[in-house]
Amino acid sequence: MAIIEVKKLSKNFKVKLKEKGFKGSIKSIFKPKHKIVKAVKNISFNVEKGEIVAFIGPNGAGKSTTIKMLTSILFPDKGSIKVLGLNPMQDRKKLAYEIGTVFGQKEQLWTHLTPYDNFKFFGAIYDIPDAAVERKIEELKVLFELDDFINTPVRNLSLGQRIRCEIVASLIHNPKILFLDEPTIGLDPVVKENIRSLIKRMNKEYKTTIFLTSHDVGDIEKLCKRVIIINNGQIVLDDSMENLKYHYLNKKIVEAKMKEKINLDDEDGITILKDKGYNLKIEVDTTKRSVADAIKLLNPDNIIDINISNIPLEDIISNIYKNKD
Amino acid sequence: MLMAVRNQIKVIFLSIKYALMRELLNKTTFLSNVIFMVLNNSSMIIQWLILFSIRDNFGDYGLKQVILLIGLSSSIYGFAHFFFEKSFKLSETINTGKLDAYIVQPKNILLSTITSDIQVSALGDLLFGLIVYLFYGFSFPSFILYYIFTMTGGLILVCISVIFHSLSFWFNNADLGADTINNMMINVSTYPDSIFKGAVKWLLFTIIPVGIANYIPVKIITSFNPYLFIINISVCLLFIVITFIIFYKGLRRYSSSNLMSARI
Amino acid sequence: MKKYLFIIKTEIMSNLQYIFNVIFGYVGYFILLFILFNLWKYLYSDPNELINGYSMSQMMWYVVITEILWMALGGKKLNTKICNDVKSGNITYNINKPYSYIGYSLSTHLGDILVKGVVYFLLGMLTGLIFLGKFPSLNIIQVIVVIITMFLATIISILIIMALSLVAFFIEDATPFYWVYSKLILILGTIFPIEYFPVIFQKILNFSPIYVVSYGPAKLFVDFSWKSAVVIIIAQIIYIFIAYIICQIIYKKGVKRINVNGG
């Protein structure tokens, strides 16, 4: 049975336009101009119990709007949503007991209090008896490795530590689904990796269904079995991670700074993007050649500095469009 | 249902307790805020001492009644701003998308939002209200009445603010209108109604309910009148109902971000 | 001087956009004026009666002027801004700039409130006229003199509030100082003319800032004499001088303190 069912969902925003300068301001007082922005256009999808689903797309694609409709924050204009069989608009309170939310850009914690006090507060919000809250905090403290700072005021914590606390706070009431909106935004790569593995561990431990949005390909690659890509308010791809990897994520970008020049012109599975003497940028087709192999070609002794990255999301999306045509 | 109410109240008090803990981190600032507010309000007493040196009564109001009015108005203001401070900044919460955090909680959205912060100096207003009341003369029934009216008046003040700030769901500059109305309520409430005449007086007992929240209570404490008492209570309840209707109507239009003010 | 004029001009331009703020601000001004008009109307049983030397119409025009001076001032905003500058450490960024912080803040705030001031003045005059039917007997040159004293009064007010706000260098929260100052001005300078207070008190008030920031210009407007105009303007110039120096001293001491603490 699907735990989240979305059918033909649409949402528009009315945006007030303002022309520049003094004249524009005067004009906008008397004759305000509006523009309808179609944030989400007629999308449908299902999520099964226990899944980790990533909802990805560039900024402004409609990810946040969708997740906010699923969590009762925004009223949809058209279409229907069922989360755990409930309508987020009519059964907001009932649903709130069953779901957890973490919005990377909006903090829910009191910054002058310690994580521990914050968790107690969330316990009260979800009407959990004191003893049960204590037990849950103890359990999550171990899982999320909070021991070092559970009694330090939140404002003194690093961004990564804060996000961990935000996630724990949203798990105090044992939600069946966890919604994460850009959980790794603004974090450095090491911390990102740490958050991802914690999310994965939590999914295993509690069988929590996880629905996350991101514009970071890394997030989904490490976490998800299934990916929904959204662009301009429409779903462009709803597929398993394996397929996505096979068709679109099969390329890695390798940038290297070399001691000596090297010629890779005729190598199979390698496309040279930029070759400026000692600075080399190549694309490796991983279906034909592994990244490790490519590095061997460069000769590790010859490398001063190296950076391996994914193809930007925008390129993947334009690739998807190309394949559809 | 009863359980839900109890849990809601528990969260409200926990939230106020935490906010108070934050303010108490700096005790000097905390105390100076409270004490200076008491001094600040005392200046109104000076103003009226001067006015009463010119004339010895203002309609039904002698010096004692005017001072009672000032005390009660401070008390009402203090109650509203201490427990429900965020209702006076609701537009900002709406426009910056900060309502999200309260919508995803299984509690009443409006109540959780408006009780999520306190104003420390409002404690000074409450304290000033208490001092003035004691100066006016303690008696058990009048003490109970004084604090019932502090609550009903405070709630009316909160409701008016929430109603006008909720217009932010529809209009861009609603916060300015709401601030103006709130200031007007405060300004008017420290002058006795006897100086107003005609249409204005009528307005004060209807659309701008300073009359019901502040003037009627002074009349009741001076000499008890059950009809006026019922009016005070029922108008307060009516405002609460209207407030919830308007807020929840607006919530359907909530856009959860500052997307609305996008510039081109 | 030119750069300060430019700062003022830029501020005026950007503030023209906030017409709504001005309009709503005026509504607030109107309400306060309306309350005080009602109060004086109630107090004067006979409009020709004199209380402490003022007729009813004089009292009301007095309040029109003092309220313009007070409401257009935007003191709370200035206080909050300077306290924040000090607390956030922004104020130290200004040390290396080729202008003084005091001069800079004074000109930004003046520019900020000038449009508001002009609008309030015009609307205030109109409101007074509607309520009272006629202006006090003043010729155009005398009106200009009053406007000059109002402008100087505003500069003094800004400098005083700046000095009170710069105290934030030394204590955690300086806003209560502003409250007390604002209440003193409101009670001792806005609602009542100095003549309403006991005689000994009047002598003190005549040398206090109240004389130059509110009483002076308003008194001139309702009861003009060239002699008092000269006295007021001289007093104002002295006050500007003193207030400016005090601001500089507090600022220099404060900045030094921050440097010592490595703030």
pLDDT, one tens digit per residue, over A55-96 is: 888 877 888 889 999 999 999 999 999 999 999 999 999 999
CB contact under 8 A, B191 and C171: no
Q: Provide the residue type at B145 as one letter.
A: L
Residue B261 lies in a domain: no
CB contact under 8 A, A22 and C13: yes
- Sign of torsion over alpha carbons A209, A215, A217, A222: negative
Selecting from C35, C172, C173 the residue whose C-beta is nearest the C-beta of B187 gives C35
CB contact under 8 A, C16 and A25: yes
pLDDT tens digits, A223-264: 888 889 888 888 888 888 777 777 777 778 888 888 877 777
Q: Which of A187, A222, A228, A189 is nearest to A203 (CA)?
A: A222
Is B196 in CB contact (< 8 Å) with chain C? yes
Q: Which residues of B touch C51 (CB under 8 A)?
A: 54
Q: Provide the residue type at A320 as one letter.
A: I
Lowest mean pLDDT among A154-158, A289-293, B8-12: A289-293
Indicate the pLDDT class of residue B259, thresholds 50, 70 and 90. very low
Selecting from B107, B252, B263 the residue whose C-beta is nearest the C-beta of A125 gives B107
Is A103 in CB contact (< 8 Å) with chain B? yes
| CA–CA dist A123, A131 (Å, integer) | 10
CB contact under 8 A, C42 and B200: no
Long-range contacts of A235-243 (CB under 8 A, 24+ apart): A235/A43, A235/A44, A235/A45, A236/A317, A236/A320, A236/A321, A237/A320, A238/A45
Please name the residue of chain C whose CA is at the shortest distance from the CA of residue B29: C173
Identify which of C43-47, C92-96, C256-260 has the greatest average pLDDT.
C43-47
Domain containing residue C165: 2-261
CATH number of A250-324: 3.30.70
Contact C178, C36 (CB under 8 A): no
More confident residue, A295 or A105: A295
Query: How many B/C residue pairs have CB atoms within 8 Å?
Result: 71
| CA–CA dist A109, A117 (Å, integer) | 10
Selecting from B33, B179, B191 the residue whose C-beta is nearest the C-beta of C39 gives B191
| CA–CA dist A219, A192 (Å, integer) | 8
CB contact under 8 A, A29 and C13: no
- Neighbours, chain B (3 or more CB pairs < 8 A): A, C
How high is the pLDDT of residue A242?
78
Is C196 in CB contact (< 8 Å) with chain B? yes
How many domains is chain C built from?
1
Please name the residue of chain A whose CA is at the shortest distance from the CA of residue B252: A75
CB contact under 8 A, B40 and C179: yes
Best C13, C17, C21, C23 residue to mutate vs chain A (most A CBs within 10 Å): C17
Please name the residue of chain B whose CA is at the shortest distance from the CA of residue C194: B50
Six-digit token string for A54: 């990533």
| CA–CA dist C101, A77 (Å, integer) | 52
More confident residue, A187 or B113: B113
Selecting from B106, B259, B263 the residue whose C-beta is nearest the C-beta of A93 gives B106
Nearest CA distance, C13 vs chain A (angstrom) = 7
| CA–CA dist B82, B13 (Å, integer) | 12
Identify which of B260-264, C150-154, C189-193 has the greatest average pLDDT.
C150-154
CB contact under 8 A, C28 and B183: yes
Q: Which residues of A touch B99 (CB under 8 A)?
A: 73
| CA–CA dist C29, C66 (Å, integer) | 11
Domain containing residue B231: 22-254
Is A26 in CB contact (< 8 Å) with chain C? yes
Please name the residue of chain A whose CA is at the shortest distance from the CA of residue C16: A22
pLDDT tens digits, B32-56: 889 989 988 998 898 899 899 888 8
B219 pLDDT exceeds 70? Answer: yes
How high is the pLDDT of residue C255?
82
Please name the residue of chain C whose CA is at the shortest distance from the CA of residue B59: C42
Beta bridge partners of A38: A12
Q: In what order do the strands lie in the sheet with A279-285?
A: A270-276, A279-285, A251-258, A303-310
How high is the pLDDT of residue A320?
75
| CA–CA dist C152, C158 (Å, integer) | 10
How high is the pLDDT of residue B87?
96
Residue B87 lies in a domain: yes
CB contact under 8 A, B107 and A17: no
Burial annotation B107-145 (CB, 10 A radius, 16+ → b, else e): bbbbbbbbbbbbbbbbbbbbbbbbebbeebeeeeebeeb
Right CATH number for A2-10+46-108+170-246 from 3.20.20.70, 3.40.50.300, 1.10.600.10, 3.40.50.720? 3.40.50.300
CB contact under 8 A, C31 and B183: yes
Beta bridge partners of A13: A37
pLDDT tens digits, A140-153: 888 888 888 999 99
How high is the pLDDT of residue A31?
64
Averaged pLDDT, C23-38: 87
Report chain A's mean pLDDT, rounded to a whole number. 84
Is B43 in CB contact (< 8 Å) with chain C? yes
Q: Which residues of A touch C20 (CB under 8 A)?
A: 29
CB contact under 8 A, B173 and C20: yes
Beta bridge partners of A238: A228
Is A94 in CB contact (< 8 Å) with chain B? yes
Averaged pLDDT, B132-148: 93
Indicate the pLDDT class of residue C14, thresholds 50, 70 and 90. low
Report chain B's mean pLDDT, rounded to a whole number. 90
Please name the residue of chain A whose CA is at the shortest distance from the CA of residue B104: A96
Report chain C's mean pLDDT, rounded to a whole number. 85
| CA–CA dist A59, C205 (Å, integer) | 62
Q: Which residues of B touch A68 (CB under 8 A)?
A: 100, 256
Q: Which residues of C touch A29 (CB under 8 A)?
A: 19-20
> Is B200 exposed, middle or buried (CB count within 10 Å of its CB: 0-12, 13-18, 19+)?
middle
Residues 6+ apart with CB under 8 A from A169: A108, A109, A115, A118, A119, A122
Q: What is the CA radius of gyration of chain C?
A: 19
How many domains is chain B built from?
1
Contact C209, C239 (CB under 8 A): yes
pLDDT tens digits, B164-207: 999 999 887 788 889 999 999 999 999 999 899 888 889 898 88
More confident residue, B247 or A324: B247
> Is C134 exposed, middle or buried (CB count within 10 Å of its CB: 0-12, 13-18, 19+)?
exposed
Q: Which residues of C touch A26 (CB under 8 A)?
A: 19
CB contact under 8 A, C17 and A29: no
Six-digit token string for A292: 């490790």
Averaged pLDDT, B115-128: 94
Identify which of A119-128, A218-227, A291-300 has the greatest average pLDDT.
A119-128
CB contact under 8 A, B40 and C32: no
Residue B1 lies in a domain: no
| Strand ranges inside A142-225, DSSP E | 177-181, 209-214
Is A29 in CB contact (< 8 Å) with chain C? yes
Residue B17 lies in a domain: no
Is B173 in CB contact (< 8 Å) with chain C? yes
| CA–CA dist A217, A197 (Å, integer) | 15
Nearest CA distance, C61 vs chain B (angstrom) = 18
Lowest mean pLDDT among B142-156, C85-99, C113-127: C85-99
Q: How many CB atoms lie within 10 A of CB A284?
A: 24
Residue extents of the structural domains in chain A: 2-10+46-108+170-246, 250-324
How high is the pLDDT of residue B85?
95
Indicate the pLDDT class of residue A28, thresholds 50, 70 and 90. low
Q: In what order do the strands lie in the sheet with A99-103?
A: A99-103, A177-181, A209-214, A52-56, A226-231, A234-240
Q: How many CB atoms lie within 10 A of CB B223?
A: 7
Please name the residue of chain A whose CA is at the shortest distance from the CA of residue B97: A106
How high is the pLDDT of residue B64?
92
- A230 DSSP 8-state letter: E
Residues 6+ apart with CB under 8 A from B74: B41, B125, B126, B128, B129, B132
Residue B28 lies in a domain: yes
Selecting from A14, A16, A106 the residue whose C-beta is nearest the C-beta of B100 gives A106
Please name the residue of chain C whose CA is at the shortest distance from the CA of residue B55: C43
Q: Which of B133, B123, B131 is nearest to B34 (CA)?
A: B123
CB contact under 8 A, B264 and A75: no
Residue B229 lies in a domain: yes
Q: Provide the residue type at B172 as one letter.
A: N
CB contact under 8 A, B26 and C173: yes
Contact C204, B64 (CB under 8 A): no
How high is the pLDDT of residue C159?
94
Q: Which of A49, A45, A85 is nearest to A67 (CA)?
A: A45
Give the DSSP per-residue string, chain B: -HHHHHHHHHHHHHHHHHHHHHHTTSHHHHHHHHHHHHHHHHHHHHHHHHHHHH-S-BTTB-HHHHHHHHHHHHHHHHHHHHH-GGGGSHHHHHHTTTTHHHHTSSS-HHHHHHTS---THHHHHHHHHHHHHHHH---HHHHHHHHHHHHHHHHHHHHHHHHHHHGGGT-TTHHHHHHHHHHHHHHHHTS-GGG--HHHHHHHTTTSTHIIIIIHHHHHHHS--HHHHHHHHHHHHHHHHHHHHHHHHHHTT--SSSGGG---
Averaged pLDDT, A13-28: 63
Selecting from C27, C34, C173 the residue whose C-beta is nearest the C-beta of B32 gives C173
pLDDT tens digits, A263-311: 777 777 788 888 877 888 888 887 788 888 888 877 888 888 888 887 7
Lowest mean pLDDT among A15-19, B68-72, B146-150, B173-177: A15-19
Best A25, A26, A27, A30 residue to mutate vs chain C (most C CBs within 10 Å): A25
How high is the pLDDT of residue B263?
30
C-alpha distance from residue A184 to each of A10, A123, B185, B258 (Å):
27, 25, 46, 21
